[in-house]
Amino acid sequence: MAAIIKPSSGGHWYGIGEAVGTGHFAIPEYDKNLRHARKEMLLPSVTTIDKIMANYQLTAWKQEQLLLAALTLPEIEGEALDDRIKRIIEDSEKHSKEAAEKGDIFHSLMERYAKGQSIDITAYDEWIQKGFEKVTGWMKEQGCIPQYVEQGFACVDYGYACRIDWAGVCGGWPALIDYKTQGTKQNRAVVFYDSNARQLAANAMAIPHEIKRHINIIISTTEPGRVEIKEWSDEDIKHGWKMFYHLLNLFMLSKNLEWDAEGRRYV
């Protein structure tokens, strides 16, 4: 039987954009792979690099979705085995796609809010309305002033790029905020992962000024109005950067890439 479950695509890549302060903006390059990256000097994204490390929680969840689909999807008389397997895979991936769509919607609303655009929040689902109210209320209390929103940055010193949700001044200090939408359960704690700290640390390194506050905000998609905010300690961020730095080196080695920071090219 030929392989039915295909490996994921070559990840997300960015081109180096115009200079900004001591850094550079990044330009997303779609439908690119490793071959394009070598030729066009594209930088891998933080999330692409971080995926080189096993995510056991995500793997277990995907396996659970696959089993549920296999056990509950109605059979079609005369259907070939390969076709049934494909239907099972497609059905199991629906939840992850729906979760990604919810995240996209909330991120879009927060971008519009930061840019001062009008929003009819009543047109959205209850979890969005209440989550938006909680998050924006907290930002007002903190006196948050945006500088960069949904902006790509290239870290040319280390050879990677990222897209940040929000960076600016919060509570009087330069801050980096990353939003996460998550299905939560009543009376159960929200889980913050080491990967969240790694992402914030790597993103902060790419921004052309020092970041003092590194914040994750989780918005529940299943408990309207539940919002959890975590500010990572300096030690957490230092550890996150160390981990990411080693993952970056491992990624480069595994792809047979070597980044020349001074020449801003692969050698």
Q: How far apart are CA 175 and CA 54, in angstroms?
A: 29
Q: How far apart are CA 55 and CA 53, in angstroms?
A: 6
The CATH number linked to 154 is 3.90.320
Q: What is the pLDDT of residues 16-41, one digit of tens each?
A: 999 998 899 999 999 899 999 999 99
From the list 162, 154, 157, the residue with the least C-alpha distance to 259 is: 157
Query: At 260, which helix (H) or strand (E)?
Result: strand 259-260
**Residue 86 has which token pair?**
């494909």
Does residue 4 belong to any structural domain of this protein? no
pLDDT at 138 over 60: yes
Helix axes 56-72, 81-92, angle to 10 degrees: 130
pLDDT at 54: 84
Domain limits for position 239: 13-266
- Mean pLDDT over 196-209 rounds to 97
Q: How far apart are CA 35 and CA 107, in angstroms?
A: 31
Does residue 32 belong to any structural domain of this protein? yes
Label the pairing between strands 145-155 and 23-29: antiparallel
Domain count for the chain: 1
Question: For the whole prediction, is pTM greater than 0.85?
Answer: yes
pLDDT at 161 over 90: yes
Q: Say which residue the tokens 């160390």 belong to.
A: 242
> Which range among 11-15, 53-57, 71-75, 214-218 has the greatest average pLDDT?
214-218
Does residue 36 belong to any structural domain of this protein? yes
Find the angle CA(131)-CA(98)-CA(27) to the nearest 5 degrees.
85
pLDDT at 227 over 80: yes
Does residue 7 belong to any structural domain of this protein? no
Does residue 1 belong to any structural domain of this protein? no
Beta strands in 75-226 (DSSP E): 145-155, 160-170, 173-182, 213-220
pLDDT at 169: 98
Q: What is the pLDDT of residues 90-105, one digit of tens each?
A: 988 888 888 899 999 9
Label the pairing between strands 227-232 and 259-260: unpaired
Q: What is the pLDDT of residues 28-83, one digit of tens each?
A: 999 899 999 999 999 999 999 999 998 888 788 888 888 988 999 998 999 998 88
Count H helices and E strands in the chain, helices first. 8, 10
pLDDT at 60: 87
**Residue 227 has which token pair?**
């919002």
Does residue 3 belong to any structural domain of this protein? no
Does residue 230 belong to any structural domain of this protein? yes
